[in-house]
A and B are shown apart, each in its own frame.
Chain A
Amino acid sequence: MATVTNWVQHLTTDTDSSTDGIQVAGEIYPMVGTEGWLLLLGVIFWLAWHFATASGESEEQRKLAKKSPGPNAHKNNIPEW
């Protein structure tokens, strides 16, 4: 998984011999080449969040609406720790 296993070797390996000087491979994160799969995982996590939280919010509001405590009921619930 590790893209770099030896810093000295990495920083002295020329990836493009046609260009002057040592051209170092810039990518140093793990699993280089899997960026597309990582993106897919990220998008799934993002969309799952919307579905999970939206259903939770709707359910909570449905219950509270059914209870219908009224506009001033919250004043009895102000904690005075």
Chain B
Amino acid sequence: MTDGLDALTVIFTEFYYWITVVLMFLIHVGFCMYEVGASRYKHHQHTLMKNTMLIPLVTVTWFFFGWWIYWAFPTGPGIAPSIMTESSGLILGGGFGANDLANPTSSIMAVNLNDHINGVFWAAFLLFSWTAASIVSGALIERITTFAFGILAIAIGSVFWTIDAAWGWHFDGWMVKLLGYHDAYASGVIHACAGGFALGVLAVLGARIGKFSSSGEPRNIGPRNPWLVCVGLFCIYTGFWGFYAACNIPIFDLGPEYGMEGVTFYTATNIYITPTTLSGITLNFLMSLAGGLLAGYWVSKGDPFWTYSGGLAGIITASAGNDLYHPIQSLLIAGVGVWVAYKMHYWVERKFKIDDAVGAVAVHGYAGVVGLIICGFVLWGYPSSGYGDAYAAINPMGMIIGAIIMFGVLGFLPGYIIAKILHAAGKLRIPREVELAGLDYNIMEAAKKDEKAVSSASR
């Protein structure tokens, strides 16, 4: 960089994404607190370790192949041609956005004086991947093996959500072109997908011992530490600010990008490179949080767990269109999503005996699906892209199909199939005796012995 203004733009963008990554780390802090707070004392340490270890597992696999998948699969492959290569095959080389940039052996996947963006952009997406895996983690506590969860975390965090992001969360994605799919802040690509994946795993994993009575009535296994759960959710809200910022490109000249001769128009854009503002999405983020909290408090009759979860579910519901909605639309859409998610959670629990320990399928999966469907109606007719007539406009049918792909095809099905394989190998669920005794039994027993030895010592 030899030109001062270019350098300022590049280094501002680099620093912008760097800050979003640090903020998004709070999502994971929050998930750890939330999950440990929801688990029983005898499972605490293993629950914490299970969630913590998804960080390195998803990170290394995101480096090895996750990032590569995102840049290789926008065409399907074989479904719609790329606007960069004009081929519908895998995108494997050449030009901006081309996949060789994300190859783990590429020289810009390291310290490189000629590139300031790839690493921070990779990291922003990595934090989204952690989130996807962490959503699944909470639902499965107290009975899944750490080994099985590691495999599942890699599958959702570095493979399946990445494919759906390439398809529907990429300026060149086939779902954007053919369906008019629009999901600015990932109602579907992260939340519906991870929620569906969690449901698929839960269907195979089964309920915790004691969750259902012999007549099939669900019993409440309440959070052991509601305060830790609530503070954890506060951290997740905070990290979600960073997530919203990370989904934007902070400064972009759309004039030459859209082929408008002689036009210069600098703006922030969303992931599809259509214009929005950080200011506008801040209004919508807060109003959807407010709508979710109000609806959560209302529908759960003031239950803190569901009120806090409602705040999160509200943001998730409105996220698909929060780059364009009016703030009051965000408020109301959030409220509808929370109501549906809450009702669906208890209906599915009773009807199908699904034990979702933290309501992850509801808060992320059902709210995400509702958000996508509503977005199709409210933004009906908006262009999904600025790159011309090859792209369908946003429409309800495209968004409903998109919701099915996100929740069902790339969420539920892979989760169910991988869980079935792990179950068949005898690796999915911990032994019954261990579940009863508590995953931490050996650690606690050793700690008690240590305590006795220390307290009886005189020197």
Contact = CB atoms under 8 A, between A and B. Distances in A.
Interface in A36-81: 36, 39, 42-43, 46, 50, 53-54, 57-58, 60-62, 64-71, 73-74, 76-81
B433 A77 contact: no
A50 B147 contact: yes
A44 B439 CA distance: 29
Nearest to B112: A26
Nearest to B449: A77
Interface stretch (B102-110, B302-310, B381-389): B102-110
B81 interface: no
B105 A26 contact: no
B447 A77 contact: yes
B107 A68 contact: no
A21 B111 contact: no
A68 B441 contact: no
B14 interface: no
A54 to B, nearest CB: 4
B107 A27 contact: yes
B153 to A, nearest CB: 12
Given A68-B437, A77-B441, A26 B451 contact: no
B147 A39 contact: no
B49 to A, nearest CB: 10
Contacts of B61: 46
B93 to A, nearest CB: 16
Measured as residues with beta carbon below 8 angstroms from the partner, the interface class of chain B is: 35 or more
Contact of A26 (B63, B107, B437, B450): B107
A68 B433 contact: yes
Contacts of B108: 26
B113 A24 contact: yes
Contacts of B115: 26
B9 interface: no
Contact of B431 (A26, A65, A74): A65
Nearest to A80: B451
A79 B434 contact: no
B421 interface: no
B319 to A, nearest CB: 32
A2 interface: no
A73 B112 contact: no
A32 interface: yes
B61 to A, nearest CB: 7
A67 B108 CA distance: 53
Contact of B437 (A50, A74, A81): A74
Given A28-B111, A39-B64, A80-B451, A53 B437 contact: no
B270 interface: no
B147 A28 contact: no
B83 interface: no
Nearest to B40: A74
22 contacts: A26-B114, A27-B107, A27-B110, A29-B110, A35-B107, A35-B110, A43-B64, A46-B57, A46-B61, A46-B64, A53-B146, A57-B147, A64-B431, A64-B434, A65-B434, A68-B437, A70-B436, A74-B438, A77-B444, A78-B444, A78-B448, A79-B444
Interface of A: 21, 24-29, 32, 35-36, 39, 42-43, 46, 50, 53-54, 57-58, 60-62, 64-71, 73-74, 76-81
Given A46-B60, A65-B433, A73-B437, 15 more contacts: A27-B112, A35-B106, A35-B110, A42-B60, A42-B63, A54-B427, A57-B146, A57-B147, A67-B437, A68-B436, A74-B441, A74-B444, A77-B441, A78-B41, A78-B444
